[in-house]
Structure 1
């Protein structure tokens, strides 16, 4: 776990910094400097771009990770990287022509409930292209076992830029319309920065010679397009569907709550950047013992770190919303708990997704993802109308629990491995106990002081218990290193 733990820690620190900046933007700046309607609009545009992203890049970011380590010559590796640039263009160009011809129809469809969306619909396509090619160039860096800089650019670059743009709106140097275009420009700049960095660590010789297993790569990419689209649907379809039923302002309230809850996913996002290429390499070399070990270790480590974040968020949520200071935003408090529970359950799966997508059973990942996408769409359709934005949160939790459990059982049956151990029960018991004890404890001071006091007590108690119970070997070693220093 050396390189995994090292880069995961650095990626986690970057993600924490990114989420801190994002939190300032989301909780303090967006809610103060931009109207609820325009905030809802930017969430809708970015979420819809994410939905479109897998199709536009044809899943090539995943193909690079899976197949690069299987090639032994630079010529084969360069051929793969070259075609990772060409293949997306074969989708982007015809889709762009079709979108241009049918633009009015598409724009009207998306803006039935909220007219503001219509004038900005075309930005979805361009933003998706910028996001997609960023992921392709990021995958070039990942396969060189260098994920930290890409993580920095992905998590911090745009957020710092958004902070600057929001202050420009506040000082009336930009109007809300110009702010929207500024955000899209940030994604374009981020893509260019990642391209330059990827080339600095490995410069392929561009070649139009097809990789030896070109048909297999296309087949894999096709499955991953659909699986990636389905995965994006699970994450973003709620933000796409809410404006079709509710006002854009409600999407702003929901978006803030989801952002707060998604803090729980920081460890998973950090670890994935390095565990995915390592898992792909081990599977290519048939090192199933290493895959199994990483599967279990990642599950426990993610639960330990994610569990602490889960507690810090949900035990301080009332004070967090007092800091936001907008009464309407507080209607989404329950969304935070529901979504953070779904994120915590996903952490327990460890490298499950990486194993599925990089093994010979990758087709099943497509079928699972397709089932998840269909289920969450149906549940959102009914639950949003029944429960409003809380219904969207419940749809996500129910879908995650059911299909994540199915994926664990499938890998146990096919590869004789699963992520859980007795330590899993211990950490869940610790999280539940501390949550039950502190949920109803409130300090009588101002919100920022209350958050600081409760967080300090919870962190101290949690770390001591986890350390004494020896739940995670890696976490205990890290604590020992800190104590020695």
Structure 2
């Protein structure tokens, strides 16, 4: 766990800094400097691009993670990496021609409820290409066990640029419309930086050699397209579907709630940057005991850290929305609680997704992902119409709880490993007890002071209990080392 803890710790710091900058953007700059319709618009465009991104890059970014370590010679590895740059073009070029031919139809469909979307529809395709090739080059560095810089560019660079652009809107240096185009340029620059760094870390020779296992690669990539698009649908379909049913400004209110809740997922995002390639390597070597060890350790560590974040967020949420000082955005308060519960379940899964994706049972992962996507679409259509944007959050929670449980049982049945222990039960009980202890305990000071006081109390009590019960050896070691 040495390299995992070291890079996960660095990635966690980067993610927290990125989320802090993003929090300023989402909670204060977007809400005060940009018209809420354009806030909803940029959220819609980026979410839709995320959904189609796996299709455009042919799932290559995940294929690199799974197969790179299986090649033994430099020539084989270089030929494989060069192929990962070419294969996405087989999808991108034909789809570009189709998009040009059907653009009017597609843009009219996307903007049926909100005409503002029509003029910007083509940007979805461009941003998706930028996002896709960024992930390809990022995967190049991940398989070299170098994930920190890419994480910095992904999490911090884009958000800092967004901050400057929002300030530019405030001072009328650029318009709301120009802001949309400027964000697209930022994603293009981000991809270029990632490309240059990936080539700096590892420069493959220009080897035009078809990989010997091309059929297997194409088969895996095809399933990755299904799974990646399905995962994108699970994460982003709510922001895509809300404008089809509600006013586009509702996406802005929903996005603020989602962003706050997504802080709970910071630990898993940090750890996955390094555990995914390690899991792939151990699965390729059929080292199941090491896979199980990583499975259990990540699950317990993520739950401990995620549990603290869950408490800090949900027990301070009222004061946080008072700081935002935009009454219309308080529609997202219940969204925060619902989505953060879903994020806790994802944390409990540990490296479960990486295990399934890199095992010989990888096809079932894609079928599950497809089923998840179809389920969440159906639930979104029903629940958004029924209870508005809270319905989108409920749909996500139902799907995450159901399919995460199915994945855990499936891995247990096939590999006879599972992530839970008695410590898992202890964490759930501790989080529940602290939540109900502080839920009705409110201070009457300025919101920022209330958050600080309650935050310190929650953190001290929670970490004291976790440390005394020796729930996580890794986190106890960190506490001993730094405190």
Deviation at 1:331, TM superposition (A): 1.3
> 2 CA distance for matches of 1:203 and 1:155?
24
Report the counterpart of residue 55 of structure 2 in structure 1.
Answer: 55
Give CA deviations for 1:218-274 in whole Å, capped at 9, x if unaligned.
000000110111011000000000000000111100000000000000000000000
Distance 2:102 2:44 in 1: 20
Corresponding residue for residue 91 of structure 1: 91
Question: Which of structure 1's runs of 4+ aligned residues deviate more than 2 A?
Answer: none
Whole-angstrom distance in 1 between the partners of 2:346 and 2:331: 25
Residues 427-460 of structure 1 deviation map (CA, whole Å, 9 limit, x = unaligned)? 1111000000001111110011100010000000
- Alpha-carbon separation, structure 1, partners of 2:155 and 2:331: 28
- Number of the residue aligned with 1:297: 297
Q: Which residue of 1 aligns with 2:10?
A: 10
Residues 275-424 of structure 1: pairs in structure 2 closer than 5 A: 275-424=275-424
Give the structure 2 partner of residue 477 of structure 1: 477
**Secondary structure of the equivalent of 2:75?**
helix
Aligned to 1:129: 129
Whole-angstrom distance in 2 between the partners of 1:435 and 1:114: 40
Q: C-alpha deviations, 1:134-178, integer Å up to 9, x for none?
A: 000000000000000010001001000000000000000000000
- CA drift of 1:80 comes to 1.0
Q: Tell me, in whole angstroms, the C-alpha distance in 2 between the residues paired with 1:117 and 1:208.
A: 42
In the alignment, which residue of structure 2 is the partner of 1:450?
Answer: 450
Q: Does 1:429 align with 2:429?
A: yes
Q: Distance in 2 between matches of 1:422 and 1:289?
A: 20
What is the match of residue 148 of structure 1? 148
Matches of 2:4 and 2:41, distance apart in 1: 38
1:409 and 1:66 mapped to 2: Cα distance?
Answer: 23
Q: Secondary structure at the match of 2:78?
A: helix
When normalised by structure 1's length, the TM-score is 0.99
1:46 aligns with 2:46: yes
1:269 aligns to 2:302 (yes or no): no
**3-state SS in 2 of match to 1:410:** helix
Counterpart in the other structure of 1:239: 239
Task: Give the whole-Å Cα distance in 1 for the aligned partners of 2:182 and 2:312.
Answer: 33
Query: Residues 371-422 of structure 1: CA distance to partner in whole angstroms, max 9, x if unpaired?
Result: 1001000000100000100000000000000010000000000000000000
CA deviations over 1:206-228 (Å, ceiling 9, x no partner):
22211111110000000011011
1:226 aligns to 2:236 (yes or no): no
Partner of 2:73: 73
What aligned pairs does 1:99-178 form with structure 2 within 5 A after superposition? 99-178=99-178
Q: Distance in 1 between matches of 2:260 and 2:332?
A: 11
Q: d(CA) in 2 for partners of 1:230 and 1:64?
A: 19
CA distance in 2, matches of 1:80, 1:379: 40
Mapped to 1, the partners of 2:135 and 2:440 lie a distance apart of: 43
Distance in 2 of aligned mates of 1:265 and 1:309? 9
Tell me, in whole angstroms, the C-alpha distance in 1 between the residues paired with 2:439 and 2:97. 54
2-side partners of 1:120 and 1:241: how far apart? 17
Q: Describe the SS at the equivalent of 1:20.
A: helix
TM-score by length of 2: 1.00
The CA distance in 1 between the partners of 2:206 and 2:451, in whole Å, is 53
How big is the alpha-carbon RMSD for the aligned residues of Structure 1 and Structure 2? 0.5
Residue ranges of structure 2 left out of the alignment (5+ in a row):
none
Q: Which runs of 5+ in 1 are unaligned?
A: none
- C-alpha deviation, 1:464, in angstroms: 0.3
2: distance between equivalents of 1:331 and 1:153? 32
Once residues 248 and 220 of structure 1 are traced to their aligned partners in structure 2, the CA distance between those partners, rounded to angstroms, is 37
2:99 & 2:212 partners in 1: Cα distance? 34
Aligned counterparts of 1:35 and 1:436: Cα–Cα separation in 2: 38
Matched length:
483
Whole-Å separation in 2 of the counterparts to 1:126 and 1:261: 28
Distance in 2 separating the partners of 1:79 and 1:432? 52
Counterpart Cα distance in 2 of 1:130 and 1:343: 27
- Structure-2 separation of matches of 1:91 and 1:212: 21
